[in-house]
Amino acid sequence: MLKISRISQYIRYLILFLAGLQLLAFILVALLGENTGVGQKVSLNFGLFYSDFNIDFNHAWQDIAKNLQQEYFNTTLILGAAELLPYFLIYYFLWRLFSYYQRGEIFTVNTIYCLKMLGKTLLFWLLLNLIYPVLVAVTMRIAGLSDTLPIILNFGSTELTYLLLGSVVYVIAWVMQEGLLIQEQQELVI
């Protein structure tokens, strides 16, 4: 159990690091980024240290990103901010899940809840990928900011991945919940 607790603590540090790095990259690219065609990029050069921070929309949002950039809108702020939401929900539920593991709670109501919420977040991400570009285009048209921005609805391999992973994680959580109920019923019988 000590190994699970220790590795869970390291995973929580990793989650914090990744969330912080993603937020830093988003801020840098949103404020200082240059257009790349399907996103924005910032390059940092400190002598021996060189790094690129990219936010690319190479999936279902690629077409809307290109159209937004052609009309001189900041794709990182419009699309990237929306894409951060599912990432940070996933970080949050993973943080909670591994905090329970760190305390020795493995098959509990709390851990099952976190897994279910991870599955739901992935399914939400699927809906976000489908609906958000349409909402952006309709909002821009209604607000009079663009008359030519096309209404685009894409469904591809990224969305299938979110559907598959979200469904699998949710069903695993559901099976764990059923197993927990069976265990509780057996303890009452004995």
Local confidence band at 56 (pLDDT 50, 70, 90 cut-offs): confident
Q: 43 by DSSP, 3-state: which?
A: strand
| Distance from C-alpha of 173 to C-alpha of 175, rounded to nearest angstrom | 5
pTM summary value: 0.85
76 within 8 A of 33, measured Cβ to Cβ:
yes
Averaged pLDDT for residues 137-157: 87
Q: Which structural domain range is residue 82 located in?
A: 2-189
| Distance from C-alpha of 77 to C-alpha of 79, rounded to nearest angstrom | 6
* Count: domains in the chain: 1
Local confidence band at 96 (pLDDT 50, 70, 90 cut-offs): very high
129 within 8 A of 59, measured Cβ to Cβ:
yes
Average pLDDT taken over every residue of the chain: 88
**Residue for token pair 């927990």:** 180
pLDDT at site 190: 59
